[in-house]
């Protein structure tokens, strides 16, 4: 009897998502950037305190607990850092008083609508699908267009509207004019006949000048602060993800650029890989999301209960489903369910009965 994995996956996905917090869109978020000693956090939907992880986000309603000789630095949503060094339990709202928030929740990151499988993994690997800039807003500056390497291909033709270029590499500098507010569609054709359009049509749009100016000013503010490379990268990634300049503004290109840089530098922070996997998945780069989630999970401990770990397992389940790997999808979603139910309130266990 053939396994009805599609029904199993939908059931697991629905149950898993019961436990995830669903804060109001555009709500402020605060980021843990330096954890020293025994520091624990408790999110409002968790039943207990758990070991703090650098890079995770907290809301004002969450709590931080410090033991003796511990300290934690929180990068607040108003772009100010605040350090706590005294033992005790603190509401995050006490550490980060409510002020004008610059770093906010990603508008679409809680959109968990599962796409039906389109191209299976083996077929996708044979196409020059667009990697960057893909389904994103960009700043008005030179862009390097990247795509997947096609087995057997030696040359590629790239078209952006009326602009055209050729290369034997898997990237090319787009030196055409970029007009603020305009959208552009990119197509890549390999010399063996494979086309990016077989995977789908993808775009990038250029920010309006005033929006771009605001983004650059806020980024400059972040870069002027005393942050390590990884701390700065995480803060910038959260800033770009939650950008609220207009209702459909997605600075996915900037998010991916920053996080890819941290991965290439050898980051050992699981949150970096989770965010990069989520960003790849959001723009439809399933194969790349799968690889980076697996890298991130390799940094976690098998028996630990971790929100970041559960989110990567959830992401892998969704990616495997989109790639047509039903059994693998069900397996990862079940792992995410078990991990997250261990974190959240006990009433969720009752709701599954």
Q: Does residue 276 contact residue 254 with C-beta atoms inside 8 Å?
A: no
Q: Is 153 found in the same domain as 83?
A: no
Last residue of a domain, one of 49, 77, 103: 103
Q: pTM for the complete prediction?
A: 0.91
Q: What is the CATH number of the domain that holds 175?
A: 2.60.40.10
Q: Is residue 232 part of a domain?
A: no
209: helix, strand or coil: helix
Q: Which two tokens stand for residue 324?
A: 């047509």
Given a cut of 80, is residue 17 above it in pLDDT?
Answer: no
Spatial separation of the C-alpha atoms in residues 118 and 290, rounded to whole Å: 16
The β-bridge partners of 165 are 158
pLDDT, tens only, 230-260: 999 999 999 999 876 555 567 999 999 999 9
Spatial separation of the C-alpha atoms in residues 31 and 233, rounded to whole Å: 12
Q: Is residue 252 part of a domain?
A: no
Q: Is 191 found in the same domain as 161?
A: yes
User: Does 219 or 112 have the greater pLDDT score?
Assistant: 219
Last residue of a domain, one of 76, 103, 130: 103
Q: Is 126 found in the same domain as 78?
A: no
The torsion angles phi and psi of 257, rounded to 5 degrees, stand at -60, -45
Q: Is residue 48 part of a domain?
A: yes
Q: Is 91 found in the same domain as 34?
A: yes
Q: Is 98 found in the same domain as 126?
A: no
pLDDT, tens only, 68-105: 999 999 999 999 999 999 999 999 999 998 888 889 88
84: helix, strand or coil: strand
Q: Is residue 16 part of a domain?
A: no
Q: Is residue 216 part of a domain?
A: no
- Residue among 126, 36, 22 nearest 73 (CA): 36
Q: Does residue 79 contact residue 103 with C-beta atoms inside 8 Å?
A: yes
The torsion angles phi and psi of 26, rounded to 5 degrees, stand at 70, 15
Q: Is 202 found in the same domain as 127?
A: yes
Given a cut of 50, is residue 319 above it in pLDDT?
Answer: yes
The whole-number pLDDT of residue 242 equals 85
Tell me what the mean pLDDT of segment 314-335 comes to.
Answer: 91
Tell me what the mean pLDDT of segment 199-215 comes to.
Answer: 92
The whole-number pLDDT of residue 237 equals 96
The β-bridge partners of 83 are 73
Q: Is residue 336 part of a domain?
A: no
pLDDT, tens only, 26-65: 689 999 999 999 999 999 888 899 999 899 999 999 999 9
The whole-number pLDDT of residue 352 equals 45
The whole-number pLDDT of residue 243 equals 77
Alpha helices, DSSP H, located in the chain: 5-18, 92-95, 121-124, 209-223, 229-241, 252-264, 270-282, 286-297, 307-322, 326-341, 347-351
Q: Is 198 found in the same domain as 132?
A: yes
The whole-number pLDDT of residue 61 equals 92
Given a cut of 70, is residue 199 above it in pLDDT?
Answer: yes
Given a cut of 50, is residue 351 above it in pLDDT?
Answer: no
Show the domain range for 154: 121-209
Given a cut of 70, is residue 279 above it in pLDDT?
Answer: yes
Q: Which two tokens stand for residue 250?
A: 């997605």
Spatial separation of the C-alpha atoms in residues 23 and 21, rounded to whole Å: 6
The whole-number pLDDT of residue 120 equals 85
Lowest mean per-residue pLDDT among 90-99, 137-146, 256-265, 334-343: 334-343
Q: Is 125 found in the same domain as 85?
A: no
The tally of domains found in the chain comes to 2
Q: Does residue 313 contact residue 304 with C-beta atoms inside 8 Å?
A: no
Last residue of a domain, one of 189, 209, 229: 209
Q: Is 192 found in the same domain as 127?
A: yes
């Amino acid at each position: 009897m053939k396994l009805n994995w599609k029904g199993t996956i939908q059931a697991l996905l629905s149950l898993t998502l019961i436990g995830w917090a669903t804060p109001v869109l555009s709500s402020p978020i605060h980021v843990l950037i330096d954890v020293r000693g025994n520091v624990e956090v408790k999110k409002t939907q968790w039943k207990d305190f758990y070991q703090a992880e650098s890079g995770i986000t907290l809301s004002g309603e969450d709590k931080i607990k410090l033991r003796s000789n511990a300290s934690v630095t929180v990068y607040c949503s108003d772009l100010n850092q605040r350090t706590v060094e005294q033992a005790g339990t603190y509401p995050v709202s006490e550490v980060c008083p409510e002020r004008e928030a610059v770093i906010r929740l990603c508008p679409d990151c809680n959109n968990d609508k599962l796409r039906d499988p389109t191209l299976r993994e083996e077929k996708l690997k044979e196409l020059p699908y667009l990697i960057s800039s893909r389904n994103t807003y960009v700043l008005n500056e030179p862009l390097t267009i990247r795509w997947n390497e096609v087995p057997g291909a030696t040359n590629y033709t790239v078209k952006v509207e009326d602009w055209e270029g050729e290369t034997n590499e898997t990237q090319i500098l787009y030196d055409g004019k970029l007009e603020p507010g305009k959208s552009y569609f990119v197509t890549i054709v390999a010399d063996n006949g494979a086309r990016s359009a077989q995977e789908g049509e993808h775009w990038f749009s250029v920010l309006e000048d005033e929006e771009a100016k605001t983004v650059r000013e806020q980024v400059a503010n972040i870069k002027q602060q005393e942050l390590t490379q990884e701390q700065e990268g995480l803060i910038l990634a959260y800033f770009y993800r939650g950008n609220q300049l207009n209702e459909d503004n997605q600075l996915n290109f900037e998010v991916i650029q920053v996080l890819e840089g941290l991965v290439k530098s050898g980051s050992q922070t699981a949150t970096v890989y989770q965010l990069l996997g989520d960003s790849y998945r959001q723009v439809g780069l399933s194969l790349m999301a799968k690889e980076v989630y697996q890298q991130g999970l390799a940094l976690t401990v098998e028996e630990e209960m971790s929100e970041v770990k559960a989110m990567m397992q959830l992401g892998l389940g969704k990616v495997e489903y989109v790639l047509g790997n039903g059994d693998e999808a069900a397996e990862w979603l079940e792992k995410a369910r078990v991990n997250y139910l261990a974190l959240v309130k006990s009433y969720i266990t009752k709701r599954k009965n």
